[in-house]
Every structure is written in structure tokens, then in C-alpha cells.
Amino acid sequence: MPLSRPIKKAVFPVAGLGTRFLPATKAMPKEMLTVVDRPLIQLAVDEAREAGIEHFIFVTGRNKGVIEDHFDKQYELESTLRRRGKSAELDLLEEDLPAAGQTSFTRQQEPLGLGHAIWCARELVGHEPFAVLLPDMVMHAKPSCMAQMVETYHQRGGGNVVAVEEVPWEQVSRYGVVSAHDWENNHFMIDRMVEKPKREEAPSNLIISGRYILQPEIFDLLSTATPGAGGEIQITDAMIRLMASQPFLGLAYKGTSYDCGDKVGFLAANIAFGLERDDIGPAFREAMSDVLDRYGLKLCRR
């Protein structure tokens, strides 16, 4: 069985409660929070589509029906836009809409962790390699982070790939951390992963940053996994076990990560994406400059 089979399916774990964004997420999924005017989940799907992925699998929980609605046709809205001659808006909706049969939804009925959420997609993924994208992590990159990962995956003949980024050493205890050896350009071999290590026990300051390409054998390991850190089924623990029989690559992707599960990261992402927009960037820069002036700060004008 060749390891370099194409990556055509992606799993999006979207069952979390989003408690860090209450009260905004009391009635709205956190994945529908917007960076400028695109929901977090749409940005993740955009990234996957750029990488050539064709089937989008959403692992949902209760009160997440609006995500399913977002990736469906909205006949009343489209009819109203058509009557009002809003062709640009209609084209945008059509461009974002996956084709019929490209989306699937399954439930994580209990909040048992990321590893369990991925395991819930096992029947929809089947026995083929797949991607995992955490919508909370917004990757600002051209080409997209997942496109870079898929390219590396094929260049190195398959296996498993995780996106990584460097953080200050004092922050390593908050993340899954990997070893790094046999560097080639911006990717390397991994032979060790540690979930939330103490600084002095961390093999590097390279953390796993929310993007994965995994082989289907991970599902067998997840099915027998026991709770790890936080009393949850951890994907890192299953990857450590899979590493005994399959290669793992780390990719220090070219781009910037924004942790949009954190309020500061979410605000930073809105600023970064807003400033680069051709339609609103110049006006946004002026507005930001005015705000900063009121606080005695300065924005570099370009």
C-alpha cells in the first residue's frame, strides 16, 4: 500500500463550546465568529480547498446546525439578492458553496477530546490518508498552510505530516512539542512528541499548530486510547504510538498563525486580514491610526 496516496478528505473538529468567547458564543458556534467577513470555519475550508481537498467532514456537537446551514444553499437570501441585482454577492455565495455531496457531518456526542472527535469521523474517512484542520487556528499563508503540507507530503513520499511553529521556551508547557532532526529546507523528521512538557523536558520549542496529515491507521490507535492530559483522548498520544511504525514529518510552514480561540489572537487576526484587504485596507489603516492616536500610540503609515 503506497503511503503517498492523494489527500482528498479533511476533518474539521467543530464540537467545542467556545466558552472563552461567551456571551458571543451562547447561541452561535465559535467557528462562525468572523475574521473581517469570513467565518473561521470558512477560512479553514478555503485553506483545504486550495490544497486540493474535495470532501469536507465536520465533527459537530449540539447547537452547531448553523455550520451545516452555512455550507448549504440559502434560497430566500439568494432570491432576494437576485431581485435586487446584487450579482457580486451572489457570485461570492456561489464561489464559497461546496458542490453537492462534498460535505458530511457527524456528531461527537460527548466532549471527550480532540482525539475522540477525530475518531468520530472514521467511517466517513475510510481507509485513506486525510487532513485535520482546527478552525480555531487561522493560518495566514500563501500558498496555504495545508497546501504547503500536501506538497511536502508528496515530496517525501507520504507518511504523516504536522505543521509546527516556534514559540518562546517559556510557553512550551502549553502545547504539544516535537523533536527535530534531519532538516531539509523547512521540514524535518520527528521521533518524539511530548504533550505540554515542562520547559526543561521539552525536546525543542517547536509546537504542533493545528494542522495534520494522518494515515488511517491512527483510527485503530484512537479506538483503544485511554484518557491523557486533561482527562481527554489526546491525538498527540495516538500519534506517539503510530510513530513506532510510520514516519512523521514536521513542517515549519511559511506564514503566520493566529490562535482565534484566544481573544487577543482573534483580534490580531482581524487586524492582519483587514489591513491587507484591497477594498477596506486603506480606510481601515486610517481608522486604526485614529484609534491609536487617542491612546498615544502610532501606526506606521505606508
Which residue would you say has higher pLDDT here, 74 or 269? 269
Q: By CB neighbour count within 10 A (0-12 exposed, 13-18 middle, 19+ buried), where does 88 fall?
A: exposed
Mean pLDDT for the stretch of residues 47-68 = 93
**pLDDT score of 19:** 87
Mean pLDDT for the stretch of residues 242-255 = 94
Residue 1 has pLDDT above 50, yes or no: no
Mean pLDDT for the stretch of residues 260-271 = 95
Mean pLDDT for the stretch of residues 69-82 = 90
**pLDDT score of 300:** 65
Q: How confident is the model at residue 139 (pLDDT cuts 50, 70, 90)?
A: very high
SS3 assignment for the chain: CCCCCCCCEEEEECCCCCHHHCCCCCCCCHHHCEECCEEHHHHHHHHHHHCCCCEEEEEECCCCHHHHHHCCCCHHHHHHHHHCCCHHHHHHHHHHCCCCCCEEEEECCCCCCHHHHHHCCHHHHCCCCEEEECCCEEEECCCCHHHHHHHHHHHCCCCEEEEEEECCHHHHHHCEEECCEEEECCEEEECCEEECCCHHHCCCCEEEEEEEEECCCHHHHHHCCCCCHHHCCCHHHHHHHHCCCCCEEEEECCCEEEECCCHHHHHHHHHHHHHHCCCCHHHHHHHHHHHHHHCCCCCCCC
Give 30-53 pLDDT, tens digit per residue: 999 999 999 999 999 999 999 999
Mean pLDDT for the stretch of residues 181-201 = 89
Q: How confident is the model at residue 18 (pLDDT cuts 50, 70, 90)?
A: confident
Residue 289 has pLDDT above 80, yes or no: yes
Mean pLDDT for the stretch of residues 260-272 = 95
Average pLDDT value for the chain: 91
**pLDDT score of 2:** 43
Q: How confident is the model at residue 157 (pLDDT cuts 50, 70, 90)?
A: confident
**pLDDT score of 104:** 96
Give 95-111 pLDDT, tens digit per residue: 888 988 999 999 998 88
9-261, superfamily in CATH? Spore Coat Polysaccharide Biosynthesis Protein SpsA; Chain A (3.90.550.10)
**pLDDT score of 281:** 94
- In DSSP terms, 9 is beta-bridged to 55
Mean pLDDT for the stretch of residues 162-167 = 94
Mean pLDDT for the stretch of residues 201-225 = 93
Mean pLDDT for the stretch of residues 124-144 = 96
**pLDDT score of 240:** 92
Residue 258 has pLDDT above 90, yes or no: yes
Helix orientation angle between 40-50 and 145-155, rounded to the nearest 10 degrees:
30
**pLDDT score of 301:** 55
What are the domain boundaries of the chain? 9-261, 262-302
* CA–CA separation, 13 and 41 (whole Å): 10
Q: How confident is the model at residue 302 (pLDDT cuts 50, 70, 90)?
A: low
- The whole model's pTM is what? 0.92
* CA–CA separation, 104 and 59 (whole Å): 9
